[in-house]
Chain A
Amino acid sequence: QSVLTQPPSVSGAPGQRVTISCTGSSSNIGADYKVHWYQQIPGRAPKLLIYNNDNRPSGVPDRFSGSKSGTSASLAITGLQADDEADYYCQSYDNSLTAIVFGGGTKLTVL
């Protein structure tokens, strides 16, 4: 069971907006550690999507945005496209475990 909790799956129609939550605790997200998001297209290596809560690496469309509040973080995707269909993982640091931790992943289906 992952330290960071994500919904197993979310779905949306093309053009819609979806959000993926990442729920942690006082020893990780709530301790003000940064949250990062990765996109993994099936059969491919993960790719950094959002770093330090709400920053996009160059080349990542502004349809992707991140936010953080309290012990949770969220990834929002607007204008959903077919090639957004992938698994999404959040990542942070946990000072109780003294470890880098990942969420369990969320599978996004574009209907």
Chain B
Amino acid sequence: QITLKESGPTLVKPTQTLTLTCTFSGFSLSTLGVGVGWIRQPPGKALEWLALFYWDDDKRYSPSLKSRLTISKGTSRNQVVLTMTNVDPVDTATYYCTHFSYRRDSFDVWGQGTMVTVSS
């Protein structure tokens, strides 16, 4: 059974760097066709794709946020980390970590999400 869980600060000040960790189980990120993605959802708004880390260490970013995002493997083999620099109140959102399946070409398992508020 695949599970993912997001962790990180609930409150961040404007201009600071946000670091979120996705801890997962039930799969290996080195398995062919697997990825871990980050998707966010501002309160009352639609989903927005942020970044995707593939099994072959390839990384993809939303073009609109690429300059501020970094996705990487964590210190443990079952972790993926997303950092977002220079945060702004518009970055206030629930951030979801997801399992990506190349075969399904979609995000087939989602974490519960973590709410991050950007405010001074």
Residues in chain A within 8 A of chain B (CB atoms) = 2, 34, 36, 38, 45-48, 51-52, 55, 57, 89, 91, 97-105
Could you tell me the dominant secondary structure of chain B's interface residues?
Answer: strand
B96 to chain A, nearest CB (A): 6
Residues in chain B within 8 A of chain A (CB atoms) = 37, 46-49, 52, 60, 62-64, 96, 101, 104-113
Residues of A within 8 A of B47 (CB): 38, 46, 89, 91, 102, 105
Q: Which residue of A lies closest to B104 (CB)?
A: A51
Q: Which residue of A lies closest to B62 (CB)?
A: A99
Q: Which of B46, B48, B106 contacts A48 (CB 8 A)?
A: B106
Q: Which of B60, B64, B110 contacts A45 (CB 8 A)?
A: B110
Residues of B within 8 A of A45 (CB): 96, 110-113
B42 to chain A, nearest CB (A): 12
Q: Which residue of A lies closest to B112 (CB)?
A: A45
Q: Which of B63, B64, B105, B109 contacts A34 (CB 8 A)?
A: B105
Known interface pairs A45-B96, A45-B111, A98-B63; A51-B106 also in contact (CB < 8 Å): yes
Q: Which of B52, B64, B105 contacts A51 (CB 8 A)?
A: B105
Q: Are B106 and A36 in contact (CB-based, < 8 A)? A: yes
Residues of B within 8 A of A103 (CB): 46
Residues of B within 8 A of A89 (CB): 46-47
CA distance A36 to B105 in the complex (A): 8
